[in-house]
Structure 1
Amino acid sequence: MDLPRHHVIREGDLRILNPFSPAKLATLGQAIKLRAGDRLVDLCCGKGELLRSWHLAHGIRGIGVDISTAFITEAREHAAGLPVEFVHGDAAGFVAPEPADVVACIGATWIGDGVAGTIEILERSLRPGGMLLIGEPYWRLDPPDQQTVEGCHAQTRDDFRSLPELVAHFGDDLGWDLVEMVLASQDSWDRYAAAHWLNIRTWLDANPDDELAPQLRAELDTDPVRHVRYQREYLGWGVFALRKRG
């Protein structure tokens, strides 16, 4: 069980594996009013930067789970000596040994086939009255055609919601109050997307004969134009803090 190698190459030396800057990750930790000793569970934790940085800033402790052996290895190295644990495994089946104050899935709602199913997974590890964090794309602008939809890595317009539709979905459909949110900017989208291009080019220069080289060369040929034409204009991304309605 592992993540395909091209994902690891693309992320390279990035510590945050989504369109959030370190400043926005710090803002989120402040906004949800973390307290020393709070227990966090981060499903699909990537390289563990949320847990590491929030322990240093707020004194939290917790567990991160990810399917990538490379990411988990890096997470353990960067958080060595801290009261955070990293587990290699399938986040969709994970239940924390102790209910947590905050349970997160930042940008990987595919583990539950969407927002609703992912919330069900997260709630298994949440204490009563605790908080969920969901990272999810949304349409900044309504896509005018199928080409735009596919340029944003979607199959249909319904793969994502507009921001009002997403907020209404949390409350009206699923019964959770939205209590905080921090949204990516076009600049933070650029920083994340463009970092991939440099990582890919650096890898290609060092590995021209690798079996993945043609695939990643094709990605570098097309992804910059796709990003500036479609993704940065039409697709937003944010982290949403939820508490269950009584």
Structure 2
Amino acid sequence: MDLPKHFVIRESSHRVLNPIESAQLATLGAALRLPAGGTLLDLACGKGELLCTWAREHGITGTGVDISTAFLADARARAADLGVADRVTFLHGDAGAYVAAEPADVVACIGATWIGGDTPGTVRLMESSLKLGGMLLVGDVYWRADPPPEAVEALFGADCLSLPGQVERFHELGYDVVELVAADERGWDRYAAASWLSMRRWLDANPDDELAPEIRSELTRSQLQHVRWQRPYLGWGVFALLRR
């Protein structure tokens, strides 16, 4: 069980695997007023930047679960670099099937709301590892402006809501939104464009690899998709939720 190689190639230079920048991740950690010694479970943790930096800055402990062995290797190296390897643990596995043995103060799923089938399903999955009175952190997309049909088809389809629609959905699930840190066009550019250079460098170094046609196609498609649809229409944010 592992993440397909083209994802690893595409995001090889990324530290944060979402359109939120490191400074915004730090802003979110500070805004949540995390108690020292609190516990955090990060489902689909990627390279572990949230866990590692928050362990250093806020004294939390935590566990990250991800399907990618390559990303987890980067996460463990990052923990060692930041001196928090004794505070965070990274597990290889299916985040969509993981339930913590001990409920956590905070459960996060940042940008991987498909692990529970959809956003409501992922919220219910996260609840199974959350302490009573704990907080959920959900990173998800939304439409910033009314999209044309081509944008809906190219991106996330009917399950993607407007920002008010997202907040209303969380209300329907029984939660108050108590914090929000949203990506802007700069964040989208940094996330998307960094992958273009990574893919191009890989293609230059591996022209005869069996994955080269797929990577070439994705490089071309992703550039046009970003400038046509993602940048002008698609929003993304981390929503902090407390049960009503």
| TM class by smaller structure | over 0.9
TM-superposed CA distance for 1:225, in Å, is 2.1
Q: Does the aligned pair in 1 maintain the 2:48–2:64 contact within 8 Å?
A: yes
Matched, 1:150 2:150: no
* Identical-pair percentage: 60
SS in 2 for 1:161: coil
Match of 1:91 in 2: 95
Gaps (5+ residues) in structure 2?
none
Match of 1:162 in 2: 162
Counterparts of 2:220 and 2:7, CA distance in 1: 17
Match of 2:40 in 1: 40
TM-superposed CA distance for 1:219, in Å, is 1.7
Matched, 1:130 2:129: no
The farther-off stretch of 217-226 and 22-31 is 217-226
Counterpart amino acid of 2:101?
P
Match of 1:194 in 2: 193
Counterpart amino acid of 1:119?
V
Counterparts of 2:120 and 2:225, CA distance in 1: 29
Counterparts of 1:170 and 1:221, CA distance in 2: 36
Counterpart amino acid of 1:35?
P
Matched, 1:114 2:114: no
Counterparts of 1:219 and 1:67, CA distance in 2: 22
SS in 2 for 1:188: helix
Counterpart amino acid of 1:150?
E
Counterpart amino acid of 1:149?
V
SS in 1 for 2:114: helix
TM-superposed CA distance for 1:144, in Å, is 2.0
Counterparts of 2:151 and 2:5, CA distance in 1: 27
Match of 2:28 in 1: 28
Q: Tell me the alpha carbon deviations over residues 20-64 of structure 1, each in whole angstroms, 9 at most, x when there is no partner.
A: 100010011011111211100000000100000001111111000
TM-superposed CA distance for 1:76, in Å, is 1.1
Match of 1:59 in 2: 59
Match of 1:139 in 2: 143
Counterparts of 1:122 and 1:82, CA distance in 2: 24
Gaps (5+ residues) in structure 1?
none
TM-superposed CA distance for 1:66, in Å, is 0.1
Matched, 1:208 2:207: yes
The farther-off stretch of 105-114 and 223-232 is 223-232
Counterpart amino acid of 1:242?
L
Q: Tell me the alpha carbon deviations over residues 183-234 of structure 1, each in whole angstroms, 9 at most, x when there is no partner.
A: 0011000000000000000111111111110111112223222211110100
Counterpart amino acid of 1:15?
R
SS in 1 for 2:237: strand
Counterparts of 1:59 and 1:115, CA distance in 2: 29
TM-score, reference length from structure 2: 0.96
TM-superposed CA distance for 1:92, in Å, is 1.1
TM-score, reference length from structure 1: 0.95
Q: Does the aligned pair in 1 maintain the 2:46–2:66 contact within 8 Å?
A: yes
Counterpart amino acid of 1:224?
Q
Match of 1:233 in 2: 232
Counterpart amino acid of 1:93?
A
